[in-house]
Amino acid sequence: MLRSLTISRDTRVNLLLGPGHFLSRFHHLCLLPLFIAWQQAFDVSFAELGLVMAVMSATAVLLQTPLGFFVDRYGARPFLVGGTLLMTLSMAAVGFATTYWQVVVLALLSGVGNSVFHPPDYAILSGSIDATRLGRSFAFHTFIGNVGFGVAPPATAALMLLLGWRGALIFIGFLGLPEAAAIVWQSRILIDQARRSQSRAPKDQRGAGLLLSRSLLMFFAFFMVSSMAGAGIQSGLITTLHQVHGVTLQPPRRRWPGTWWGRSVACWSAVGWPTAPIATCRLSWLSRSAPPRSCFSSA
Amino acid sequence: MALTIGAAALLLLVGIVSFAEAATIGVLFVAGLMTGASRTPRDVMVKAAAPPGQIGKVFGFVSSGMSLDGAIMPVPYCMIIDAG
């Protein structure tokens, strides 16, 4: 009986990393409901408040690639724990801010912490999860992140009603402490990606040469272009539907998170089961039938 | 790729055709499903393209592309809305 209740190592790894990704996404969009309170508290315009989110996004753009280099060199776990703590404590500290510029600086620090999640998470998932189940694991990781996006605005709004904006931020910030503690406590089950001596790797498979190869530039472009619609939907869908098609605005939150919930459900139900085995079969086939270099042959 | 194109087609459809409110939400939901369904195959392909020991920098680089559009898209999109 007890044996049947045992959680597999793969599941434990997914459950350990998933909440961190959830919090990472949650921290991005939890700021939106706070704008109204901040406008009154700090006497600033919405454009100035938009700068807070822009600072967080810009930090992620600038730091994710350099952090990836550090993760490959020094291992993923220290960055994951440090990033979670920095992100979460910075967000909690915003709850004590007395000026607008303190909020901007703390948002920058939170953005630094937030930018560590993708490189270490994927490095650990790739090293810890069985290759035949890796697609499902990636699907769960994406799913739980999108849940964070979806629930952040309404959950933050509800917390603001209960605790006020300062109490809500302190509560949200401290949610990351158990996650960081759990990663440290269970770190023995987190296996980092297989290392390879940098000096032995061919020049086109390390450093900037790797990132500027044709295949990775194509991936970069695909990530960017395929996400543009999502960024546009986030910023303008409600306005567009209202002005062009006359869609009523009450209650507005029913509409735009619809696509995020769609993505979340799809990642787990549509992708996690029917297509993940196909994707992982392809991965297994690649790793079995060809040396690593040929996976990168288009470079 | 097909899922991404399908999602884009559905979003265009919402822009071109005047649906009822419930249908608009439904079409957007299906577009979201298709977009989400394209994510895992994409990530698995990136993993397959990463040489051993290079996964951190590879995912860091391609993920920064995703963050970049979040930083640059809202302003031009809102300019399009302002232009009518």
Q: What is the predicted ipTM? A: 0.75
Residue of A nearest to B70 (CA): A231
Domain layout of chain A by residue ranges: 8-193
Q: Identify whether residues B45 and B56 lie together within a single domain.
A: no
- Which residue of A119, A222, A224 is in closest CB contact with B56? A119
CA distance A140 to A131: 15
Contact B25 A254 (CB under 8 A): yes
CA distance A61 to A79: 17
Q: Identify whether residues B17 and B45 lie together within a single domain.
A: yes
Q: Note the Cα B16 to chain centre separation in Å.
A: 19
Residue B71 CB partners (closer than 8 Å, separation 6+): A54, A57, A58, A61
- Tell me how close the Cα of B67 comes to any Cα of chain A, in angstroms: 6
Q: Are A147 and A22 in contact (CB under 8 A)?
A: yes
pTM of the model: 0.77
Contact A232 B65 (CB under 8 A): no
- Which residue of A54, A235, A247 is in closest CB contact with B24? A247
Chain B residue numbers with beta carbons less than 8 Å from the beta carbon of A240 are 15, 81
Q: Identify whether residues B43 and B58 lie together within a single domain.
A: no
- Tell me how close the Cα of A263 comes to any Cα of chain B, in angstroms: 4
pLDDT of residue A279: 44
Chain A residue numbers with beta carbons less than 8 Å from the beta carbon of B24 are 241, 245, 247
- Which residue of A64, A254, A279 is in closest CB contact with B44? A279
- Tell me how close the Cα of B8 comes to any Cα of chain A, in angstroms: 8
Alpha-helix runs per DSSP H in A95-133: 100-114, 118-128
Q: Identify whether residues B9 and B36 lie together within a single domain.
A: yes
At residue A90's C-alpha, the angle toward residues A104 and A154, to 5°, is 85
Homologous superfamily in CATH for domain A8-193: MFS general substrate transporter like domains (1.20.1250.20)
pLDDT digits (tens, 9 = 90+) for B14-70: 777 777 777 777 777 787 777 777 788 888 888 888 888 888 889 888 888 877 776
- Tell me how close the Cα of A95 comes to any Cα of chain B, in angstroms: 25
Q: Is A246 left (phi over 0), alpha (psi -120 to 50) or beta?
A: left
CA distance A100 to A93: 13
The rounded average pLDDT for each run of 10 residues, N- to C-terminus, in chain A (299 residues) is 68 91 89 84 83 83 89 88 93 94 93 88 89 87 86 89 93 92 87 66 69 85 77 63 61 50 51 44 42 34
- Tokens 């302002």, residue located: B82
CB pairs under 8 A between A and B: 264
Contact A70 B67 (CB under 8 A): no
Contact A235 B73 (CB under 8 A): yes
Contact A292 B52 (CB under 8 A): yes
Number of domains making up chain B: 2
pLDDT of residue A245: 63
Q: Are A103 and A48 in contact (CB under 8 A)?
A: no
Contact B67 A270 (CB under 8 A): no
Contact B33 A293 (CB under 8 A): no
Contact B37 A271 (CB under 8 A): yes
Query: Rounded to 10 degrees, what is the CA torsion of B52, A10, B45, A256?
Result: -140
pLDDT of residue B48: 86
Q: Identify whether residues B42 and B5 lie together within a single domain.
A: yes
Q: Identify whether residues B57 and B19 lie together within a single domain.
A: no
Residue of A nearest to B57 (CA): A68
Contact A223 B66 (CB under 8 A): yes
Q: Identify whether residues B56 and B26 lie together within a single domain.
A: no
Give me the phi and psi of A193, to 5 degrees please: -60, 155
| Structural domain boundaries enclosing B82 | 52-84
| A260, A269, A271, A294, best to mutate vs chain B, most B CBs in 10 Å | A271
